[in-house]
Amino acid sequence: MSAELTAEAPKETLSADAPVPRKAPRIRNIPKLRRDLEVIKQRYERMPFAVIKDPISLVYFRVPWRDYQLMKMMEGCRNGPDVVRKWKREVPELALEMSDALLLQKVAVLIRDFESRKLCEMSATSLLKNRARRQDRKTIGRRVAWMVSWLIIRKSLYDPDPLLAKITPKLWFLFRPWFSIGALLFILSAAWTLISHRSEVHFDKDWFLAPGNLGLLFVSVILLKIVHEFGHGVTCKHFGGEVHEIGFMIMILTPMFYVNTSDAWLFPNKKHRIYVSAAGVYVEMIFAAALVYVWLVLAQGFWKQFTFSAVIAASFTTLLFNANPLMRFDGYYAMSDWLEIPNLRQKSRAFLGRQFRKLFFGPAYPEVGAKVVPGRDSTTFAIYSLASFGYLLFLMSHVFRRLHLLDKFGLSLLAYILVSLWATAAIIWPISRFFGTPYKNAARYKIQLSPMTRYRPLIVFLGLVLAVVIILNLPFPKTVVRSCALELADADIVRAAQPGFVNEVLAKEGDMVQKGQVLARLRSPDLQTKLVTQRESLRQADSALNQAISENDAQKFKVATHQREEAVADLKDTESKVSDLNMSADSDGRVLTRNLDDKLGRYLAAGEPLCIVGPSSDFDILVPLTEQEARFIKRGAPVVLKVTALPEITFHGEVTQEPLSTLGNALPASLTARRGGDVDTTIDKAGKEKPLEHQWYAQVKIEESSHLLRPGMTGRVKVKCGLQTVGRVLGQKLLDSINLDYRL
């Protein structure tokens, strides 16, 4: 929603203690205010203001009410001194606040500001002068702003006011208290439904990033945002405003819609302005709540995943961006109206800039043309400016670190250029203006700076650089924290060597067993029958051999001997298979599988596991690591483990393996994000799950004497990597965010 004022009180209106220019301004023509302007008197910051609407350009301005009245008093005057005399006659306190020279300067400033905003009746000569003045103002800053403006492409589509005039009366119920209360309860119930069914929530990144699905989601998001913007427009129309523009814009490669509800600034009631700002989020949350119930009844498949993605787009992203007051969207305008501080962002940054300017240039440095900030808002300005600037840095670093994901689309270079322009306009250029403006003002107003004032910024800057260097070299305890699923690194899985039914279980969970100890016996009717048959065959072969010996028949002896040898071999093979029905441990350890008795009578195929025998004391687990994290892990590094199932117990251990081995595609299933770990995976063309990034692992031995840990448990692992300098940690994070192609 576009609701920010395009201008505020004239920034260059001089106060009584401003320096007096040597030469009084020459004012030849006194302009008149345009007769078609719409003016509403409102109160902000406990002061009266005039909100002026230009009905032709649909641009809005807010100026102090007294400045507007002074501008109106100029009508009928012939020159500057005539205006000053009239002002002193109509407003006697002006004579006490300013000298005649300052009043003449104020006349010139007001005329220039109102004419530059095209609020005065202007002749062709005045228009040409304004055009020439704008040409002269093409400074480096404006050129940088012009380059950055290409990051925002804005296109007006049509005038929705006639359509809104027809549909708004039919939506009267939206503004009744009973509907608002019902909608709030509906949204809360949907949120509770989503929380109570969180086990069914599954966000599949592979599905989301598929080109066809992205296109469908893009269309659905466009439809949701159209509804969002119409929510603003209908609310503005309901309270008596006009909405003459709805359009589409692309901001840093992100498409979005907008509706111009700037007419809300004419509403005298600030609650109505807040309602207009919050209407889009309100309507979109209602749609998100409805989509939650649609998602609940759908069967697993494409449409259920699509509906859940639409719920995220209509709720979480809306709250994160549109309702966020740190970004210049709906939440920002609502908070600005609630605090009654127009242009909160600009004023907060100006306040923070003045505080830093006092630090760099000293408290005695004069603030030329600066508006005094009310003391009651100083805390608000400080908190908001620091929070918004910190959020900007966080957002910028987060975007910068994710740019490598665009490599597969071939857009990484373009993205780096756009983000660099964004950083230049948002950080680098404001900093350069911060240091340059005081010197320009000093030269402009002929202010003599003492050597201490002139060189104080350099001294303070060097002091800050020294402080930063000291901070960057401070030791910092580096830790690596990962969500993990417990996967035994040295486990013995007892498997069935032969198929059969579990006939007897000789061990239970927690039992200490030795290598070769029988844990269970299987029963195989086929093997038992085969064993009886082969024993009978051996008996018959022995009888045939004895008969051949008694008959002294060499040929029969040879045949009988061969048959007996075959019978003995078959019997030994069958007896070996029968002995394999005894399932024994391959190593010393402790039985970790629960409820083994429940497997009595169950059929086990060859190779099917019966139980797991783990270490008798310590517990070895695998911790997945990214390539960036792996460089900090050293053998012997202490480890702390917290298990989700046992939150009251803290386990300790150490890294036992160095160098680290790559997991490759042989990633244990329990370490993937789909099954409780935090390794993001994808499905390849062969249908196999593989990590999105190259993964390493650390083998960790956990000191575990209570025997409570079990394979498959999830938790958080913290590896203490020792002391690193702050500079090295931050430098590595910065380098990791840059593609290797641009670091060579």
Is the model's pLDDT at 166 over the cut of 80? yes
- How far apart, in whole angstroms, are the C-alpha atoms of residue 670 and residue 487? 7
What pLDDT, on a 0 to 100 scale, did the predictor assign at position 85?
Answer: 87
Q: Give me the pLDDT at residue 490, please.
A: 66
Q: In the block, which residue shows the tokens 């205010």?
A: 33
Helix (H) or strand (E) holding 382: helix 378-401
492-513 confidence digits (pLDDT tens): 788 888 899 998 888 888 788 8
- Give the helix ranges, DSSP H, for 445-524: 451-472
* Between 108 and 139, the higher pLDDT residue: 108
* Burial of 275 (C-beta count, 10 Å sphere; 0-12/13-18/19+): buried
Q: Residue 379 is inside which H or E element, if any?
A: helix 378-401
Percent of the chain at pLDDT exceeding 90: 4
b/e burial code for range 83-94 (CB count within 10 A of at least 16 → b) = bbebbbeeeeeb
- What is the model's pLDDT at position 188? 92
Summarize pLDDT for 337-368 with one digit per residue, the tens. 888 777 788 888 878 877 887 777 776 555 55
- In this predicted model, what pLDDT tens digit does every residue of 245-286 receive, in sequence order? 888 777 655 667 788 888 888 888 888 989 999 998 999 999
Q: What pLDDT band is residue 186 in, cutting at 50, 70 and 90?
A: very high
State residue 482's pLDDT score.
Answer: 83
pLDDT of residue 4: 36
Q: What is the mean pLDDT of the chain?
A: 77
CA distance 111 to 103: 12
Residue 519 · residue 611 · CB < 8 Å: yes
Report whether CATH 2.40.30.170 matches the domain 481-489+615-742.
yes
Delimit the domains of the chain by residue range.
1-137, 141-342, 350-376+383-472, 481-489+615-742, 493-604
